[in-house]
A = this chain, B = another copy of it.
């Protein structure tokens, strides 16, 4: 099916003119009775065609005995039959030419082998008809008042409508978000539960929400991204359309579990791949479930945060300090007012002025005096000292939330600075009233800070990395591919691995392969200075464990040392080694790891500090290879800069500046190797990669690779 037809089917699904309900019940207490009842309750204006052979009517609607008897082809069908029968209905609907069906039944891919077979059968039965589900709770279009779902959350009478579109891979969570948003006064546009994603999936709906005029912010509840490249395209498309995406992903602690079992996993668990994917596509990752709505609500105002300086206006000191502290934890500044701002504030209030020279700015009576509040807001919104404003609402404010909301609303048009509120007492009504009137209000100081952080992320992404992500494709394609027709296969030895890395542009230590003491001595003389002697083997991975590494040898020492190494290795492995490497010693610089990591999400490049303690501190970072090719220089630089040990490259404590541009080039070269070789490259890691002082480049001193 073409993209146009697919998006046309999704448009119908989100805004159907007619809905058939297969297996509808007349009892609105039953799950099978709810979809029709909820459509009616929430004001659906289109046609409803219930199908049930046992009933003549459901409410005011005639009931049809089977799908073939439907009076016209519906835009959408909701299939309420169990898993053992749903595929029959799906086949009938497809035969009729129905564009799209929603299958609610569970008992498919989520339950094991038999369920997986059922799911395949369902997909086959659908043919070219689009499917949402199975195991979905359906969807809710609040913009147009169309609810295609039996979710118990729809028992509520009214939902605030707004610009946040939600896609959830869990049906229960869709209901949770719907009811929580309503209670908070957060307005939503569409909510879609994709669940098993046998056909339509996460990214289809991201694209649909990008195209939806009523949606300005996209909120995602993610359990697993099945099509990472499609997700990447959709997320970058949303970014280009200026619609930020906020994602909460579960499975964070699986990464912790994996970390315990596998060496590579410890450095780069699956959850970290999601971090990389989100980072590279501008997606804001919500750290807690509640942050998903909190950050989205702040972004829904459409206001832009251009800096980190936040004014806190409070009438209750303790809560102001609490918010200030939470903002500080996320790197925000809460500077005191500049002299002009402070003077303007003082002019508004009589009495003891001390608290107006500080931030939090303490105005004891503001909550009760709208004129004073307006005056102060005007001063702070106009002040060059602040990029945004938080208003702390205490008990005086929550007692008269409309008064407070009105005063703030009057001032909002004066500036495009973000204005958020923190509600100190328990006051759900005040929270909802403020949020609904354009001032997102939070019951948690940490959420308020997370919301600002999300807003800042959007600005930083738009200003910097977004452009780079857009051009990575071009720069990767421009480079001519390296001739890779004659590469060895299987597990490479150290010399072969380094020849591979060299061919793609990573400088490696000079070295010579030898078999005898005399050859070793000759090699050492030709390399000048002290050398390293190593066992050369395609099978022994940990050379030092079998006595296969000796450092700091002179030409005179190396012959006898080779003899001893041969004996040591023979004792450890049972085989007398035949081949050795004589290698120049690297002096100075710091040790790094540069590797690749395979994952269901794709191939990633890993950079981290080398040496024995690297794993303990887990100071590594990942970037997914884009489908078009390698990483850009900007991406490579951002990898190095994102590490805690970045200062080691940057003149930390008087150490020499490192050759960062050589490191960046090595990362790009390594990433292009991984991109070009694709599935042929099973494994590749340089460890250690020495980064030398500025002008001296980098040097791969050891490494492993495996090709097929």
Contact = CB atoms under 8 A, between A and B. Distances in A.
A172 interface: yes
Given A396-B152, A424-B176, A446-B288, A648 B616 contact: yes
Interface string A178-197: 01101110000000000000
A538 to B, nearest CB: 23
A325 B289 CA distance: 11
Nearest to A193: B318
Contacts of A446: 288-289
Nearest to A151: B395
A223 B654 contact: no
A325 B256 CA distance: 10
Per assembly, the copies of the chain total 2
A587 interface: no
Interface of A: 107, 110-112, 151-153, 155, 168-173, 175-176, 179-180, 182-184, 221, 223, 250-254, 256-257, 288-290, 316-319, 321-322, 325-329, 352, 354-355, 394-396, 399, 424-428, 444-446, 545, 609, 612-613, 616-617, 619, 644-645, 647-648, 652-655
A252 B616 contact: no
Contacts of A354: 111-112
A325 B251 contact: yes
Contacts of A655: 612
Leading 4 A-B pairs by shortest Cβ distance: A253-B328, A170-B318, A152-B395, A172-B316
28 contacts: A111-B354, A155-B395, A155-B399, A170-B319, A172-B318, A172-B394, A173-B318, A175-B316, A176-B424, A176-B426, A180-B425, A183-B426, A184-B426, A223-B318, A250-B322, A252-B325, A252-B329, A253-B325, A254-B325, A256-B329, A257-B328, A290-B444, A612-B653, A612-B655, A613-B648, A616-B644, A616-B652, A617-B617
A394 B352 CA distance: 52
Contact of A318 (B171, B256, B321): B171
A82 to B, nearest CB: 10
Nearest to A263: B653
Contacts of A326: 253
Contacts of A318: 168-173, 176, 221, 223
A173 B395 contact: no
B613 A182 contact: no
A367 to B, nearest CB: 10
A69 to B, nearest CB: 31
Nearest to A331: B256
Contacts of A111: 352, 354-355
Q: From A328, A444, A609, name the one whose CB has the most chain B CB atoms within 10 angstroms.
A: A328
A233 to B, nearest CB: 26
A425 B153 contact: yes
A179 B426 CA distance: 5
A295 to B, nearest CB: 15
A352 B107 contact: yes
Given A321-B250, A395-B152, A444-B288, A654 B545 contact: yes
Given A173-B322, A426-B180, A329 B253 contact: yes
Contacts of A250: 321-322, 325
A210 to B, nearest CB: 25
Given A180-B426, A250-B322, A289-B446, 9 more contacts: A153-B395, A170-B318, A173-B424, A175-B316, A253-B329, A288-B444, A288-B446, A428-B428, A612-B655
Contact of A319 (B110, B176, B223, B645): B176
B648 A289 contact: no
Contacts of A172: 316-319, 394, 424
Nearest to A427: B179
Contacts of A253: 325-329
A425 to B, nearest CB: 4
Nearest to A288: B446
A268 to B, nearest CB: 18
Given A152-B399, A172-B316, A396-B152, A616 B425 contact: no
A183 B431 CA distance: 14
Given A180-B425, A425-B176, A426-B180, A321 B394 contact: no
Contacts of A184: 426
B612 A613 contact: no
A424 B107 contact: no
Nearest to A614: B613
Contacts of A325: 250-254
Contacts of A619: 617
A43 B1 CA distance: 73
A111 B362 CA distance: 12
Contacts of A426: 176, 179-180, 182-184
A111 B395 CA distance: 23
A648 B395 CA distance: 53
Contacts of A251: 325
A606 to B, nearest CB: 18
A57 to B, nearest CB: 27
Contacts of A256: 328-329
Contact of A644 (B151, B329, B617): B617
